Structure 1
Amino acid sequence: MIRLAFLLGILASPALAAPAGPATIDGVTPVEVIRRGEIIAEAQLNPLPIPVNRAQTVLRMGDVVGRQARRDLAPGQPIRTYDVQAPEAVKRGEIVTMVLAHGGMIVAAQGRAMETGSIGDTIRVQNTVSQRIVYGAIAEDGTILIAPVAAPKLPARLTALN
């Protein structure tokens, strides 16, 4: 009899009660249509609980605010990693300032962006005077930072003269 009471007590415990539902994470969904290319603001988003087993690519609020929509985003649909990107800092065809800093010397020139990119991306840029293509990283202010090229090795007979 004691065993039966003990067994019924265990079965009635809240720990063994039927689960309330699948575990969820807080994803986000737009409250209005967000157009492709638009920078996403927090006021345009609404939290949305999403089952963990379906949330592998779903983003949270902090991952979306300030990013740029890659496509039109519909209300009620979770925002996924491939729906947003870092905002474009430079657009293809745009005139930019290229900066090369090496040692104490800084050289700046005008160039045309051959690719679209975000801050930190390395893109191709064409010098508008020489028409040469160089690669540089996009800085926060939109300038293109060109890495200095290593000096060529001089023959031993020339380095002995120095």
Structure 2
Amino acid sequence: MWRALILACWPLTAQADSVIAARNLPAQTVIAEGDLMLAAAVIEGALTSTEAAVGQETRRAIYAGRPVRTGDLGPPALVERNALVALEYRAGGLVIRAEGRALARGAAGETIRVMNIESKTTVTGLIGPDGLIHVGELP
């Protein structure tokens, strides 16, 4: 009985792990399991599991031993700057496809500027999961 009372009153600190970089990770690196390790410490803002980071891309350089934070990572880019991409404009039943040149790098769900190759007009579009740039009404 007295043991239960002591344990109930004893302050317990929760021990959690934080994800840190196992090696220097340059910007635009797709994270693999071996790139990360867990530190037995609570680091404010750091991820607590490696599963959340594997397959993501670094948005900035992360140095070995430094914590990996949510803002340091994002989905891998599908479109590279200056790459030729397909543009698709939809309005009602009308569908127009054209070729463009990406003016920025981006991942699925991000908005980038693209220059239409034929008209030399710059448009803004949303990158689809297949790399197609959607201009106008969204799919």
Please give the range of the TM-score, normalised by the shorter of the 2 chains: 0.7 to 0.9
Q: Which residue of 1 aligns with 2:114?
A: 125
Scaled by the length of structure 2, what TM-score is found? 0.80
Distance 1:25 1:137 in 2: 38
Correspondent of 1:106 among 85, 95, 108: 95
Scaled by the length of structure 1, what TM-score is found? 0.70
Q: Which runs of 5+ in 1 are unaligned?
A: 1-8, 149-162
Q: Which residue of 2 aligns with 1:159?
A: none
2:89 equivalent to 1:96: no
Give how far 1:118 is off. Answer: 1.4
Give how far 1:48 is off. Answer: 2.3
2:19 equivalent to 1:31: no
Give how far 1:139 is off. Answer: 0.7
Aligned partner of residue 89 in structure 2, secondary structure: strand
Q: How many residues align?
A: 136
Distance 2:34 2:115 in 1: 40
Q: 1:16 to 1:127 in 2, by over 3 A?
A: same
Identical positions, percent: 31
2:66 equivalent to 1:58: no
Q: Which runs of 5+ in 2 are unaligned?
A: none
Q: 1:18 to 1:125 in 2, by over 3 A?
A: closer
Alpha-carbon deviations, 1:14-46, whole Å to 9, x = none? Answer: 333464xx4343321222332221100123222
Distance 1:17 1:139 in 2: 54
Correspondent of 1:142 among 110, 131, 136: 131
Aligned partner of residue 124 in structure 2, secondary structure: strand
Q: Which residue of 1 aligns with 2:6?
A: 13
Correspondent of 2:64 among 53, 56, 75: 75
Question: Which structure is higher in helix share?
Answer: 1
Q: After TM superposition, what 4+ stretches of structure 1 lie above 6 angstroms from structure 2?
A: none
Q: Which residue of 2 aligns with 1:42?
A: 33
Give how far 1:101 is off. Answer: 2.8
Give how far 1:119 is off. Answer: 0.7
Distance 1:99 1:121 in 2: 15
